[in-house]
Structure 1
Protein backbone atom coordinates (compact mmCIF):
# COMPACT_ATOMS: atom_id res chain seq x y z
CA UNK A 1 0.00 0.00 0.00
CA UNK A 2 1.28 3.48 -0.93
CA UNK A 3 1.13 5.95 1.96
CA UNK A 4 0.56 9.64 1.18
CA UNK A 5 1.98 12.14 3.61
CA UNK A 6 -0.36 14.64 5.24
CA UNK A 7 1.23 17.70 3.61
CA UNK A 8 0.93 16.03 0.18
CA UNK A 9 -2.79 15.45 0.82
CA UNK A 10 -3.14 19.12 1.73
CA UNK A 11 -1.42 20.17 -1.54
CA UNK A 12 -3.81 17.98 -3.54
CA UNK A 13 -6.82 19.46 -1.72
CA UNK A 14 -5.63 23.03 -2.39
CA UNK A 15 -5.03 22.23 -6.08
CA UNK A 16 -8.56 20.83 -6.46
CA UNK A 17 -10.09 23.90 -4.76
CA UNK A 18 -8.09 26.33 -6.93
CA UNK A 19 -9.06 24.42 -10.07
CA UNK A 20 -12.73 24.69 -9.11
CA UNK A 21 -12.40 28.42 -8.47
CA UNK A 22 -10.66 28.91 -11.86
CA UNK A 23 -13.41 27.03 -13.68
CA UNK A 24 -16.13 29.04 -11.89
CA UNK A 25 -14.31 32.34 -12.59
CA UNK A 26 -13.90 31.49 -16.30
CA UNK A 27 -17.59 30.51 -16.54
CA UNK A 28 -18.65 33.79 -14.91
CA UNK A 29 -16.47 35.92 -17.20
CA UNK A 30 -17.71 34.02 -20.24
CA UNK A 31 -21.37 34.52 -19.24
CA UNK A 32 -20.76 38.26 -18.67
CA UNK A 33 -18.96 38.65 -22.00
CA UNK A 34 -21.76 36.95 -23.92
CA UNK A 35 -24.70 38.72 -22.18
CA UNK A 36 -23.48 42.32 -21.69
CA UNK A 37 -25.21 44.85 -23.95
CA UNK A 38 -22.92 47.09 -26.01
CA UNK A 39 -23.61 49.85 -28.53
CA UNK A 40 -22.67 48.72 -32.07
CA UNK A 41 -22.57 50.64 -35.34
CA UNK A 42 -20.97 48.54 -38.09
CA UNK A 43 -21.73 49.27 -41.77
CA UNK A 44 -21.93 46.64 -44.50
CA UNK A 45 -18.38 45.66 -45.52
CA UNK A 46 -16.14 42.60 -45.97
CA UNK A 47 -16.67 40.17 -43.10
CA UNK A 48 -13.07 40.28 -41.87
CA UNK A 49 -13.23 44.08 -41.53
CA UNK A 50 -16.54 43.77 -39.68
CA UNK A 51 -14.82 41.43 -37.20
CA UNK A 52 -12.10 44.06 -36.67
CA UNK A 53 -14.67 46.77 -35.93
CA UNK A 54 -16.62 44.47 -33.60
CA UNK A 55 -13.42 43.62 -31.72
CA UNK A 56 -12.87 47.36 -31.17
CA UNK A 57 -16.46 47.80 -29.91
CA UNK A 58 -16.45 44.79 -27.57
CA UNK A 59 -12.79 44.35 -26.59
CA UNK A 60 -12.62 40.80 -27.92
CA UNK A 61 -10.53 39.00 -30.53
CA UNK A 62 -11.41 36.62 -33.34
CA UNK A 63 -9.65 33.48 -34.57
CA UNK A 64 -10.28 32.11 -38.05
CA UNK A 65 -8.23 30.38 -40.73
CA UNK A 66 -10.45 30.47 -43.81
CA UNK A 67 -9.28 33.18 -46.23
CA UNK A 68 -12.72 33.18 -47.91
CA UNK A 69 -14.03 35.23 -44.98
CA UNK A 70 -12.46 38.35 -46.51
CA UNK A 71 -14.55 37.85 -49.69
CA UNK A 72 -17.92 37.70 -47.90
CA UNK A 73 -19.99 40.88 -47.57
CA UNK A 74 -21.41 41.27 -44.07
CA UNK A 75 -24.74 42.98 -43.30
CA UNK A 76 -24.89 46.31 -41.48
CA UNK A 77 -25.70 46.01 -37.77
CA UNK A 78 -26.67 48.85 -35.46
CA UNK A 79 -28.03 49.24 -31.94
CA UNK A 80 -27.70 47.83 -28.43
CA UNK A 81 -27.00 44.09 -28.41
CA UNK A 82 -24.80 41.39 -26.93
CA UNK A 83 -21.64 40.09 -28.59
CA UNK A 84 -23.47 36.79 -29.19
CA UNK A 85 -26.25 38.55 -31.07
CA UNK A 86 -23.81 40.70 -33.08
CA UNK A 87 -21.74 37.74 -34.26
CA UNK A 88 -24.90 35.77 -35.03
CA UNK A 89 -26.16 38.58 -37.27
CA UNK A 90 -22.82 38.86 -39.08
CA UNK A 91 -22.77 35.10 -39.76
CA UNK A 92 -26.50 34.63 -40.38
CA UNK A 93 -26.27 34.20 -44.17
CA UNK A 94 -22.97 32.30 -44.17
CA UNK A 95 -21.83 28.74 -43.63
CA UNK A 96 -19.81 29.68 -40.55
CA UNK A 97 -20.40 29.04 -36.85
CA UNK A 98 -18.71 30.51 -33.79
CA UNK A 99 -17.79 29.63 -30.22
CA UNK A 100 -16.19 31.35 -27.24
CA UNK A 101 -12.83 29.75 -26.43
CA UNK A 102 -12.45 32.08 -23.45
CA UNK A 103 -14.08 35.28 -22.21
CA UNK A 104 -12.15 37.43 -24.72
CA UNK A 105 -11.76 35.13 -27.74
CA UNK A 106 -14.22 33.91 -30.37
CA UNK A 107 -13.38 31.21 -32.87
CA UNK A 108 -15.02 31.28 -36.32
CA UNK A 109 -15.20 27.97 -38.17
CA UNK A 110 -17.15 26.38 -41.02
CA UNK A 111 -19.96 23.91 -40.43
CA UNK A 112 -18.63 20.40 -40.05
CA UNK A 113 -15.27 21.56 -38.69
CA UNK A 114 -14.19 20.14 -35.35
CA UNK A 115 -14.32 22.74 -32.60
CA UNK A 116 -12.49 21.22 -29.63
CA UNK A 117 -9.88 23.98 -29.45
CA UNK A 118 -9.09 27.40 -30.91
CA UNK A 119 -6.76 27.44 -33.93
CA UNK A 120 -3.76 28.47 -31.83
CA UNK A 121 -4.20 25.33 -29.70
CA UNK A 122 -4.81 22.76 -32.47
CA UNK A 123 -1.86 20.36 -32.56
CA UNK A 124 -0.82 17.40 -34.67
CA UNK A 125 1.95 14.83 -34.56
CA UNK A 126 5.12 16.60 -35.75
CA UNK A 127 6.42 15.62 -39.14
CA UNK A 128 10.06 16.61 -39.88
CA UNK A 129 9.21 17.42 -43.50
CA UNK A 130 6.23 19.67 -42.69
CA UNK A 131 7.22 21.05 -39.29
CA UNK A 132 8.17 24.48 -40.69
CA UNK A 133 4.88 24.80 -42.58
CA UNK A 134 2.90 23.87 -39.46
CA UNK A 135 4.76 26.46 -37.40
CA UNK A 136 3.96 29.15 -39.97
CA UNK A 137 0.28 28.13 -40.00
CA UNK A 138 0.18 28.17 -36.19
CA UNK A 139 1.57 31.72 -36.11
CA UNK A 140 -0.99 32.81 -38.71
CA UNK A 141 -3.85 31.23 -36.76
CA UNK A 142 -2.84 32.88 -33.48
CA UNK A 143 -2.68 36.42 -34.92
CA UNK A 144 -4.64 38.96 -32.85
CA UNK A 145 -6.22 41.72 -34.90
CA UNK A 146 -5.90 44.74 -32.61
CA UNK A 147 -4.65 47.73 -34.61
CA UNK A 148 -4.70 47.66 -38.40
CA UNK A 149 -2.50 50.01 -40.43
CA UNK A 150 -2.63 50.96 -44.10
CA UNK A 151 0.77 52.64 -44.17
CA UNK A 152 2.98 49.97 -45.68
CA UNK A 153 1.55 49.30 -49.09
CA UNK A 154 2.97 45.79 -49.39
CA UNK A 155 1.42 44.91 -45.99
CA UNK A 156 -1.79 46.86 -46.51
CA UNK A 157 -4.39 46.14 -43.82
CA UNK A 158 -2.06 44.02 -41.68
CA UNK A 159 -1.77 43.82 -37.90
CA UNK A 160 0.41 46.62 -36.51
CA UNK A 161 2.63 44.01 -34.83
CA UNK A 162 3.55 42.64 -38.25
CA UNK A 163 4.83 45.96 -39.63
CA UNK A 164 8.68 46.00 -39.41
CA UNK A 165 8.99 49.78 -38.95
CA UNK A 166 8.60 52.29 -36.12
CA UNK A 167 5.03 53.55 -36.33
CA UNK A 168 2.49 55.29 -34.08
CA UNK A 169 -1.24 55.05 -34.76
CA UNK A 170 -4.16 57.06 -33.39
CA UNK A 171 -7.59 55.71 -34.29
CA UNK A 172 -10.85 57.64 -34.32
CA UNK A 173 -11.70 56.63 -30.75
CA UNK A 174 -8.24 57.75 -29.58
CA UNK A 175 -8.64 61.16 -31.24
CA UNK A 176 -11.96 61.69 -29.49
CA UNK A 177 -10.78 60.42 -26.10
CA UNK A 178 -7.71 62.68 -26.15
CA UNK A 179 -9.69 65.64 -27.55
CA UNK A 180 -7.28 66.15 -30.44
CA UNK A 181 -8.64 68.93 -32.63
CA UNK A 182 -5.53 70.00 -34.59
CA UNK A 183 -2.45 68.25 -35.95
CA UNK A 184 -0.22 70.47 -33.76
CA UNK A 185 -1.40 68.48 -30.73
CA UNK A 186 0.52 65.42 -31.97
CA UNK A 187 3.56 67.10 -30.38
CA UNK A 188 2.05 66.24 -27.00
CA UNK A 189 1.16 62.63 -27.88
CA UNK A 190 4.36 61.03 -29.16
CA UNK A 191 8.11 61.50 -28.63
CA UNK A 192 10.54 62.64 -31.36
CA UNK A 193 7.85 64.54 -33.29
CA UNK A 194 8.28 68.28 -33.83
CA UNK A 195 5.47 70.22 -35.50
CA UNK A 196 5.91 73.98 -35.64
CA UNK A 197 4.03 76.79 -37.28
CA UNK A 198 1.33 79.36 -36.86
CA UNK A 199 2.01 82.86 -35.60
CA UNK A 200 3.68 85.15 -38.14
CA UNK A 201 3.75 82.36 -40.76
CA UNK A 202 -0.02 82.01 -40.72
CA UNK A 203 -2.32 79.85 -38.68
CA UNK A 204 -2.23 76.85 -41.03
CA UNK A 205 1.40 76.92 -42.25
CA UNK A 206 3.53 74.25 -40.57
CA UNK A 207 6.92 72.56 -40.68
CA UNK A 208 7.51 68.97 -39.58
CA UNK A 209 10.51 67.03 -38.27
CA UNK A 210 10.77 63.49 -36.88
CA UNK A 211 13.75 62.54 -34.69
CA UNK A 212 15.18 65.96 -35.52
CA UNK A 213 15.24 65.23 -39.25
CA UNK A 214 13.17 67.50 -41.55
CA UNK A 215 11.52 66.19 -44.68
CA UNK A 216 8.23 64.66 -43.56
CA UNK A 217 5.74 63.87 -46.32
CA UNK A 218 2.03 64.00 -45.53
CA UNK A 219 -0.71 61.96 -47.20
CA UNK A 220 -4.47 62.48 -47.00
CA UNK A 221 -6.39 59.38 -48.19
CA UNK A 222 -3.36 58.30 -50.22
CA UNK A 223 -2.82 61.70 -51.91
CA UNK A 224 0.46 63.50 -51.18
CA UNK A 225 0.28 66.95 -49.55
CA UNK A 226 3.72 68.47 -50.38
CA UNK A 227 2.97 72.11 -49.51
CA UNK A 228 3.47 73.51 -46.00
CA UNK A 229 0.47 75.77 -46.56
CA UNK A 230 -2.52 74.15 -44.92
CA UNK A 231 -0.31 71.61 -43.16
CA UNK A 232 -1.78 72.32 -39.70
CA UNK A 233 -5.18 70.88 -40.53
CA UNK A 234 -8.03 70.46 -38.08
CA UNK A 235 -8.94 66.92 -37.11
CA UNK A 236 -12.41 66.32 -38.51
CA UNK A 237 -14.00 62.93 -39.28
CA UNK A 238 -10.66 61.10 -39.40
CA UNK A 239 -10.54 57.32 -39.14
CA UNK A 240 -6.86 57.25 -38.17
CA UNK A 241 -3.54 59.10 -38.12
CA UNK A 242 -0.38 57.07 -38.77
CA UNK A 243 3.11 58.42 -38.06
CA UNK A 244 5.99 56.50 -39.66
CA UNK A 245 9.37 57.36 -38.18
CA UNK A 246 12.60 57.22 -40.15
CA UNK A 247 13.32 57.34 -43.90
CA UNK A 248 10.34 56.15 -45.97
CA UNK A 249 11.68 56.91 -49.46
CA UNK A 250 11.10 53.40 -50.79
CA UNK A 251 7.34 53.66 -50.36
CA UNK A 252 6.69 57.40 -50.18
CA UNK A 253 9.30 59.07 -52.38
CA UNK A 254 12.30 61.34 -51.92
CA UNK A 255 10.54 63.86 -49.65
CA UNK A 256 10.17 61.32 -46.81
CA UNK A 257 13.68 61.51 -45.36
CA UNK A 258 12.44 62.16 -41.83
CA UNK A 259 9.30 60.06 -42.08
CA UNK A 260 5.70 60.20 -43.22
CA UNK A 261 2.31 61.06 -41.74
CA UNK A 262 -0.86 59.54 -43.16
CA UNK A 263 -4.37 60.79 -42.51
CA UNK A 264 -7.26 58.46 -43.35
CA UNK A 265 -10.72 60.03 -43.37
CA UNK A 266 -13.81 58.15 -42.25
CA UNK A 267 -15.49 56.30 -45.09
CA UNK A 268 -19.12 56.96 -46.11
CA UNK A 269 -21.63 54.64 -44.48
CA UNK A 270 -23.99 52.34 -46.36
CA UNK A 271 -26.87 53.62 -44.19
CA UNK A 272 -28.30 57.12 -44.18
CA UNK A 273 -27.18 58.91 -41.01
CA UNK A 274 -26.42 62.38 -39.71
CA UNK A 275 -24.45 63.76 -36.76
CA UNK A 276 -24.06 67.22 -35.24
CA UNK A 277 -21.30 68.07 -32.74
CA UNK A 278 -20.90 71.22 -30.67
CA UNK A 279 -17.74 71.94 -28.66
CA UNK A 280 -16.93 74.86 -26.35
CA UNK A 281 -13.62 75.61 -24.65
CA UNK A 282 -11.14 78.11 -23.29
CA UNK A 283 -10.33 81.34 -25.13
CA UNK A 284 -13.88 81.43 -26.42
CA UNK A 285 -13.36 78.23 -28.44
CA UNK A 286 -16.44 77.32 -30.47
CA UNK A 287 -16.81 74.40 -32.89
CA UNK A 288 -19.90 73.37 -34.79
CA UNK A 289 -19.66 70.40 -37.16
CA UNK A 290 -22.22 68.38 -39.10
CA UNK A 291 -21.84 65.11 -41.04
CA UNK A 292 -24.34 63.43 -43.32
CA UNK A 293 -23.97 59.99 -44.92
CA UNK A 294 -26.09 59.62 -48.06
CA UNK A 295 -26.00 56.24 -49.85
CA UNK A 296 -26.93 56.86 -53.50
CA UNK A 297 -26.83 53.18 -54.42
CA UNK A 298 -25.12 49.99 -53.26
CA UNK A 299 -22.03 50.90 -55.28
CA UNK A 300 -22.03 54.67 -54.64
CA UNK A 301 -21.83 55.99 -51.08
CA UNK A 302 -21.37 59.68 -50.23
CA UNK A 303 -20.50 61.68 -47.12
CA UNK A 304 -20.78 65.46 -46.62
CA UNK A 305 -18.98 67.23 -43.79
CA UNK A 306 -19.17 70.91 -42.82
CA UNK A 307 -17.67 72.70 -39.82
CA UNK A 308 -17.10 76.14 -38.39
CA UNK A 309 -14.30 76.66 -35.83
CA UNK A 310 -13.53 79.91 -33.98
CA UNK A 311 -11.12 80.70 -31.14
CA UNK A 312 -9.70 83.89 -29.66
CA UNK A 313 -5.93 84.36 -29.49
CA UNK A 314 -3.97 83.99 -26.26
CA UNK A 315 -1.11 86.51 -26.83
CA UNK A 316 -1.53 90.04 -28.14
CA UNK A 317 0.93 90.90 -30.90
CA UNK A 318 2.60 94.21 -31.56
CA UNK A 319 -0.15 95.01 -34.05
CA UNK A 320 -3.26 96.38 -32.32
CA UNK A 321 -6.20 94.03 -32.52
CA UNK A 322 -4.09 91.03 -33.68
CA UNK A 323 -3.62 88.02 -31.37
CA UNK A 324 -1.43 84.96 -31.80
CA UNK A 325 -3.28 81.67 -31.65
CA UNK A 326 -6.60 82.97 -32.88
CA UNK A 327 -8.54 80.75 -35.27
CA UNK A 328 -11.38 81.25 -37.69
CA UNK A 329 -11.93 78.29 -39.99
CA UNK A 330 -14.75 77.21 -42.27
CA UNK A 331 -14.52 73.64 -43.60
CA UNK A 332 -16.55 71.71 -46.17
CA UNK A 333 -15.73 68.28 -47.54
CA UNK A 334 -17.57 65.90 -49.86
CA UNK A 335 -16.61 62.23 -50.33
CA UNK A 336 -17.76 59.51 -52.66
CA UNK A 337 -16.84 55.86 -52.38
Structure 2
Protein backbone atom coordinates (compact mmCIF):
# COMPACT_ATOMS: atom_id res chain seq x y z
CA UNK A 1 0.00 0.00 0.00
CA UNK A 2 1.42 3.39 -0.93
CA UNK A 3 2.18 6.00 1.69
CA UNK A 4 -0.17 8.43 0.02
CA UNK A 5 -3.08 6.23 1.00
CA UNK A 6 -2.41 6.77 4.69
CA UNK A 7 -1.20 10.35 4.65
CA UNK A 8 -3.05 12.63 7.03
CA UNK A 9 -4.40 15.88 5.63
CA UNK A 10 -6.33 17.99 8.12
CA UNK A 11 -8.07 20.07 5.47
CA UNK A 12 -8.43 18.17 2.19
CA UNK A 13 -8.94 20.49 -0.75
CA UNK A 14 -12.00 18.59 -1.94
CA UNK A 15 -14.36 15.81 -0.98
CA UNK A 16 -15.93 13.40 -3.45
CA UNK A 17 -19.66 12.77 -3.05
CA UNK A 18 -20.51 9.29 -4.31
CA UNK A 19 -24.26 9.87 -4.47
CA UNK A 20 -26.13 6.65 -3.71
CA UNK A 21 -23.63 3.77 -3.98
CA UNK A 22 -25.18 0.66 -5.50
CA UNK A 23 -27.93 2.51 -7.36
CA UNK A 24 -25.81 4.32 -9.97
CA UNK A 25 -27.65 2.72 -12.89
CA UNK A 26 -30.93 4.14 -11.60
CA UNK A 27 -29.75 7.73 -11.12
CA UNK A 28 -31.85 9.10 -13.95
CA UNK A 29 -35.00 7.48 -12.57
CA UNK A 30 -34.20 8.49 -8.99
CA UNK A 31 -33.61 12.08 -10.08
CA UNK A 32 -37.17 12.39 -11.45
CA UNK A 33 -39.01 12.26 -8.08
CA UNK A 34 -36.19 14.21 -6.41
CA UNK A 35 -36.44 17.01 -8.98
CA UNK A 36 -40.24 16.98 -8.91
CA UNK A 37 -40.31 17.24 -5.12
CA UNK A 38 -37.76 20.06 -5.17
CA UNK A 39 -39.82 22.02 -7.71
CA UNK A 40 -42.98 21.46 -5.64
CA UNK A 41 -41.14 22.62 -2.51
CA UNK A 42 -39.94 25.78 -4.27
CA UNK A 43 -43.34 26.63 -5.76
CA UNK A 44 -45.26 25.76 -2.60
CA UNK A 45 -43.14 27.74 -0.17
CA UNK A 46 -42.80 30.75 -2.49
CA UNK A 47 -46.60 30.68 -2.90
CA UNK A 48 -47.03 30.72 0.89
CA UNK A 49 -44.70 33.73 1.15
CA UNK A 50 -46.55 35.56 -1.63
CA UNK A 51 -50.02 34.87 -0.21
CA UNK A 52 -49.11 36.00 3.30
CA UNK A 53 -47.43 39.13 1.95
CA UNK A 54 -50.35 40.15 -0.25
CA UNK A 55 -53.24 39.22 2.06
CA UNK A 56 -53.66 41.77 4.91
CA UNK A 57 -55.86 39.39 6.93
CA UNK A 58 -52.88 37.03 7.23
CA UNK A 59 -50.61 39.61 8.82
CA UNK A 60 -50.70 37.79 12.14
CA UNK A 61 -48.01 36.09 14.26
CA UNK A 62 -48.94 32.55 13.18
CA UNK A 63 -48.51 33.41 9.49
CA UNK A 64 -45.30 35.34 10.10
CA UNK A 65 -43.92 32.21 11.75
CA UNK A 66 -45.21 30.22 8.77
CA UNK A 67 -43.25 32.54 6.45
CA UNK A 68 -40.11 31.96 8.52
CA UNK A 69 -40.75 28.22 8.25
CA UNK A 70 -41.12 28.52 4.47
CA UNK A 71 -37.80 30.38 4.22
CA UNK A 72 -36.10 27.74 6.39
CA UNK A 73 -37.52 25.00 4.14
CA UNK A 74 -36.31 26.79 1.00
CA UNK A 75 -32.78 27.30 2.32
CA UNK A 76 -32.49 23.75 3.65
CA UNK A 77 -33.66 22.11 0.42
CA UNK A 78 -31.63 24.44 -1.81
CA UNK A 79 -28.45 23.85 0.17
CA UNK A 80 -28.56 20.18 -0.84
CA UNK A 81 -30.77 19.36 -3.84
CA UNK A 82 -28.98 21.25 -6.65
CA UNK A 83 -25.73 19.45 -5.84
CA UNK A 84 -27.52 16.12 -5.52
CA UNK A 85 -29.15 16.57 -8.93
CA UNK A 86 -25.80 17.55 -10.48
CA UNK A 87 -24.41 14.21 -9.24
CA UNK A 88 -27.32 12.32 -10.79
CA UNK A 89 -27.29 14.18 -14.11
CA UNK A 90 -23.70 15.32 -14.72
CA UNK A 91 -21.62 13.07 -12.44
CA UNK A 92 -20.38 16.28 -10.76
CA UNK A 93 -19.14 14.74 -7.54
CA UNK A 94 -16.41 17.08 -6.32
CA UNK A 95 -17.14 19.59 -3.57
CA UNK A 96 -14.56 21.86 -1.97
CA UNK A 97 -13.79 21.25 1.69
CA UNK A 98 -15.02 24.69 2.76
CA UNK A 99 -18.15 24.34 0.59
CA UNK A 100 -18.83 20.96 2.21
CA UNK A 101 -18.66 22.46 5.70
CA UNK A 102 -20.84 25.37 4.57
CA UNK A 103 -23.42 22.95 3.20
CA UNK A 104 -23.32 21.02 6.48
CA UNK A 105 -23.86 24.23 8.46
CA UNK A 106 -26.84 25.41 6.39
CA UNK A 107 -28.39 21.94 6.22
CA UNK A 108 -28.35 21.27 9.97
CA UNK A 109 -28.62 24.91 11.04
CA UNK A 110 -31.88 25.53 9.23
CA UNK A 111 -33.19 22.18 10.43
CA UNK A 112 -32.60 23.47 13.97
CA UNK A 113 -34.30 26.78 13.07
CA UNK A 114 -37.29 24.85 11.72
CA UNK A 115 -37.50 22.86 14.95
CA UNK A 116 -37.47 26.08 16.99
CA UNK A 117 -40.13 27.66 14.80
CA UNK A 118 -42.51 24.81 15.59
CA UNK A 119 -42.06 25.72 19.27
CA UNK A 120 -42.83 29.36 18.46
CA UNK A 121 -45.94 28.32 16.53
CA UNK A 122 -47.05 26.12 19.44
CA UNK A 123 -46.63 29.12 21.76
CA UNK A 124 -48.74 31.20 19.38
CA UNK A 125 -51.52 28.58 19.45
CA UNK A 126 -51.28 28.45 23.26
CA UNK A 127 -51.69 32.22 23.61
CA UNK A 128 -54.45 32.38 20.97
CA UNK A 129 -56.52 29.65 22.65
CA UNK A 130 -55.70 30.03 26.35
CA UNK A 131 -55.39 33.83 26.45
CA UNK A 132 -57.28 35.09 23.38
CA UNK A 133 -57.92 38.59 24.74
CA UNK A 134 -54.21 39.13 25.36
CA UNK A 135 -52.94 37.60 22.11
CA UNK A 136 -52.30 40.89 20.32
CA UNK A 137 -50.59 42.42 23.35
CA UNK A 138 -48.37 39.39 24.08
CA UNK A 139 -47.33 38.56 20.51
CA UNK A 140 -46.64 42.01 19.13
CA UNK A 141 -44.70 42.54 15.89
CA UNK A 142 -41.51 43.26 17.84
CA UNK A 143 -41.93 40.10 19.94
CA UNK A 144 -42.46 37.99 16.81
CA UNK A 145 -39.34 39.51 15.23
CA UNK A 146 -37.31 38.83 18.39
CA UNK A 147 -38.52 35.22 18.51
CA UNK A 148 -37.54 34.76 14.86
CA UNK A 149 -34.10 36.25 15.52
CA UNK A 150 -33.69 34.03 18.60
CA UNK A 151 -34.48 30.94 16.51
CA UNK A 152 -31.85 31.95 13.94
CA UNK A 153 -29.23 32.54 16.63
CA UNK A 154 -30.11 29.22 18.24
CA UNK A 155 -29.67 27.38 14.96
CA UNK A 156 -26.30 28.99 14.29
CA UNK A 157 -25.03 28.63 17.85
CA UNK A 158 -25.83 24.92 18.24
CA UNK A 159 -24.80 23.84 14.73
CA UNK A 160 -21.60 25.88 14.30
CA UNK A 161 -19.65 23.32 16.44
CA UNK A 162 -20.56 20.66 13.83
CA UNK A 163 -18.47 22.47 11.22
CA UNK A 164 -15.74 23.62 13.64
CA UNK A 165 -15.16 20.10 14.94
CA UNK A 166 -15.24 18.60 11.44
CA UNK A 167 -12.71 21.18 10.32
CA UNK A 168 -10.16 20.31 12.99
CA UNK A 169 -10.24 16.50 12.58
CA UNK A 170 -7.36 14.89 10.64
CA UNK A 171 -8.49 13.01 7.53
CA UNK A 172 -6.64 10.16 5.89
CA UNK A 173 -6.88 7.28 3.40
CA UNK A 174 -9.86 8.72 1.56
CA UNK A 175 -11.83 11.90 1.01
CA UNK A 176 -14.77 10.03 -0.52
CA UNK A 177 -18.14 10.63 1.15
CA UNK A 178 -20.63 7.81 0.41
CA UNK A 179 -23.56 10.23 0.37
CA UNK A 180 -25.35 12.76 -1.82
CA UNK A 181 -24.43 15.67 0.47
CA UNK A 182 -22.18 16.62 3.38
CA UNK A 183 -24.28 15.15 6.14
CA UNK A 184 -22.61 15.59 9.54
CA UNK A 185 -22.04 11.96 10.48
CA UNK A 186 -21.05 10.99 6.93
CA UNK A 187 -18.19 13.51 7.06
CA UNK A 188 -17.15 12.71 10.64
CA UNK A 189 -16.80 9.02 9.82
CA UNK A 190 -13.94 9.88 7.44
CA UNK A 191 -11.79 11.35 10.21
CA UNK A 192 -8.75 9.43 11.45
CA UNK A 193 -9.19 10.40 15.08
CA UNK A 194 -11.34 9.75 18.11
CA UNK A 195 -14.49 11.56 17.01
CA UNK A 196 -16.64 10.63 20.00
CA UNK A 197 -17.02 14.30 20.89
CA UNK A 198 -18.72 14.89 17.52
CA UNK A 199 -20.93 11.85 18.03
CA UNK A 200 -21.90 12.87 21.55
CA UNK A 201 -22.49 16.46 20.58
CA UNK A 202 -24.70 15.35 17.67
CA UNK A 203 -26.73 13.23 20.06
CA UNK A 204 -26.95 16.16 22.48
CA UNK A 205 -28.38 18.38 19.73
CA UNK A 206 -30.81 15.67 18.63
CA UNK A 207 -32.00 14.50 22.05
CA UNK A 208 -31.22 17.54 24.19
CA UNK A 209 -32.11 20.55 22.07
CA UNK A 210 -34.70 19.04 19.73
CA UNK A 211 -35.95 16.88 22.60
CA UNK A 212 -36.47 20.04 24.64
CA UNK A 213 -38.37 21.54 21.72
CA UNK A 214 -40.68 18.53 21.76
CA UNK A 215 -41.21 18.94 25.51
CA UNK A 216 -42.16 22.60 25.06
CA UNK A 217 -44.60 21.68 22.28
CA UNK A 218 -46.18 18.89 24.37
CA UNK A 219 -46.58 21.19 27.39
CA UNK A 220 -48.17 23.86 25.18
CA UNK A 221 -50.67 21.39 23.75
CA UNK A 222 -51.52 20.00 27.17
CA UNK A 223 -52.54 23.52 28.18
CA UNK A 224 -54.36 23.98 24.87
CA UNK A 225 -56.35 20.75 25.32
CA UNK A 226 -57.27 21.71 28.88
CA UNK A 227 -58.62 25.04 27.60
CA UNK A 228 -60.49 23.36 24.75
CA UNK A 229 -62.18 20.80 27.00
CA UNK A 230 -63.47 23.65 29.15
CA UNK A 231 -65.40 25.08 26.21
CA UNK A 232 -69.19 24.69 26.59
CA UNK A 233 -70.14 23.01 23.29
CA UNK A 234 -68.76 20.26 21.10
CA UNK A 235 -68.83 22.50 18.03
CA UNK A 236 -66.78 25.15 19.82
CA UNK A 237 -64.23 22.53 20.87
CA UNK A 238 -63.92 21.14 17.34
CA UNK A 239 -63.67 24.59 15.77
CA UNK A 240 -60.97 25.69 18.20
CA UNK A 241 -58.95 22.51 17.89
CA UNK A 242 -59.30 22.76 14.10
CA UNK A 243 -56.96 25.76 14.17
CA UNK A 244 -54.18 23.43 15.41
CA UNK A 245 -54.41 20.58 12.91
CA UNK A 246 -52.05 22.01 10.30
CA UNK A 247 -49.44 22.77 12.95
CA UNK A 248 -49.71 19.27 14.45
CA UNK A 249 -49.38 17.56 11.06
CA UNK A 250 -46.26 19.59 10.22
CA UNK A 251 -44.73 18.81 13.62
CA UNK A 252 -45.34 15.09 13.13
CA UNK A 253 -43.81 15.10 9.62
CA UNK A 254 -40.72 17.03 10.70
CA UNK A 255 -39.83 15.31 13.97
CA UNK A 256 -40.67 11.76 12.88
CA UNK A 257 -38.52 12.00 9.74
CA UNK A 258 -35.70 13.82 11.59
CA UNK A 259 -35.46 11.36 14.46
CA UNK A 260 -35.82 8.29 12.22
CA UNK A 261 -33.07 9.54 9.87
CA UNK A 262 -30.66 10.33 12.73
CA UNK A 263 -31.21 7.04 14.55
CA UNK A 264 -30.86 4.85 11.45
CA UNK A 265 -27.67 6.69 10.46
CA UNK A 266 -26.08 6.11 13.89
CA UNK A 267 -27.37 2.67 14.85
CA UNK A 268 -28.61 0.99 11.69
CA UNK A 269 -25.36 -0.82 10.89
CA UNK A 270 -27.24 -3.71 9.31
CA UNK A 271 -29.33 -1.46 7.09
CA UNK A 272 -28.04 -1.08 3.48
CA UNK A 273 -26.12 2.14 2.85
CA UNK A 274 -28.41 3.21 0.00
CA UNK A 275 -31.37 3.03 2.41
CA UNK A 276 -29.59 5.39 4.84
CA UNK A 277 -28.96 7.87 2.05
CA UNK A 278 -32.48 7.73 0.61
CA UNK A 279 -33.97 8.23 4.09
CA UNK A 280 -31.65 11.22 4.68
CA UNK A 281 -32.84 12.80 1.43
CA UNK A 282 -36.48 12.06 2.17
CA UNK A 283 -36.01 13.76 5.55
CA UNK A 284 -34.77 16.85 3.72
CA UNK A 285 -37.43 16.89 1.02
CA UNK A 286 -40.65 15.75 2.65
CA UNK A 287 -41.18 18.63 5.14
CA UNK A 288 -40.55 21.40 2.54
CA UNK A 289 -42.95 19.64 0.16
CA UNK A 290 -45.69 18.85 2.67
CA UNK A 291 -45.69 21.99 4.83
CA UNK A 292 -47.14 24.30 2.11
CA UNK A 293 -49.66 21.60 1.15
CA UNK A 294 -50.71 21.04 4.76
CA UNK A 295 -51.15 24.73 5.49
CA UNK A 296 -52.68 25.42 2.08
CA UNK A 297 -55.29 22.70 2.43
CA UNK A 298 -56.04 22.98 6.15
CA UNK A 299 -55.89 26.76 6.65
CA UNK A 300 -59.04 28.41 5.33
CA UNK A 301 -57.56 31.90 4.92
CA UNK A 302 -54.65 30.63 2.79
CA UNK A 303 -56.91 28.31 0.83
CA UNK A 304 -59.43 31.06 0.06
CA UNK A 305 -56.70 33.49 -1.00
CA UNK A 306 -55.15 30.86 -3.28
CA UNK A 307 -58.53 30.15 -4.90
CA UNK A 308 -59.02 33.86 -5.54
CA UNK A 309 -55.61 34.09 -7.17
CA UNK A 310 -56.35 31.10 -9.40
CA UNK A 311 -59.72 32.53 -10.43
CA UNK A 312 -58.16 35.89 -11.31
CA UNK A 313 -55.50 34.14 -13.41
CA UNK A 314 -58.17 32.21 -15.34
CA UNK A 315 -60.22 35.30 -16.07
TM-score range, shorter chain: under 0.3
More strand by share: 1
More helix by share: 2
Which TM-score applies when normalising by structure 1? 0.24
